[in-house]
Amino acid sequence: MDTDQTTTEYEISFLVKGQEGVASVRTLIQNAGITIDQEQEVREMRLAYPIQKETSAMFGFWRVHATHETIQKIHTEVKLIPEIMRIMVVKNPPSVRQPYQYTPQAAPREKRPVVSSWQAPVQTTNPEVVTNKELEKKLEEILQ
């Protein structure tokens, strides 16, 4: 399919059961008349939670140019293929960016002085030690 004004760039991501599922996705896309522009390596991965009682699946994504009608056709046909666990189509996917590289600043920042509003409590003279007998006498006086 030639790219013209009626086609849009899409990214098709999928989770499938084994290599048979990858072949099913490829057949589905080719039968719809879509050519694959960029194909990433399909790899097996462990799933975070089971999908259709499966704990691992093959994951891949392809960039294609297609019309809106062909993408809708794929969405309806994908439900009929049991090997395809999940499929997601993104319109105008972002381009692959270069990883961020850290460049240190020329001069380190100056540290601000620490100002504390908290002050240590001032100690008064040591209170006299009171025995239990003296405490009991005071309690009796208060209670009477």
What domains can be seen in the chain, in order of their start residue?
A: 8-91 (3.30.70.60)
What is the predicted pLDDT for the residue at 92? 79
In the chain, what is the greatest distance between 2 CA atoms, to the nearest angstrom? 106
Q: In one letter, which amino acid is 48?
A: A
What is the predicted pLDDT for the residue at 24? 92
Q: What is the pLDDT along the chain (144 residues), one digit of tens a residue?
A: 444 458 889 999 999 999 999 999 999 999 998 888 888 889 999 999 999 899 999 999 999 999 999 999 998 898 899 999 999 998 877 665 556 666 666 666 677 777 767 777 766 666 677 888 988 998 999 887
What is the predicted pLDDT for the residue at 107? 64
Contact 35, 65 (CB under 8 A): yes
What is the predicted pLDDT for the residue at 144? 79
Global pTM?
0.59
Q: d(Cα 40, Cα 121) in Å, to the nearest integer? A: 68
Tokens 């003296």 map to which residue?
Answer: 134
What is the predicted pLDDT for the residue at 85? 93
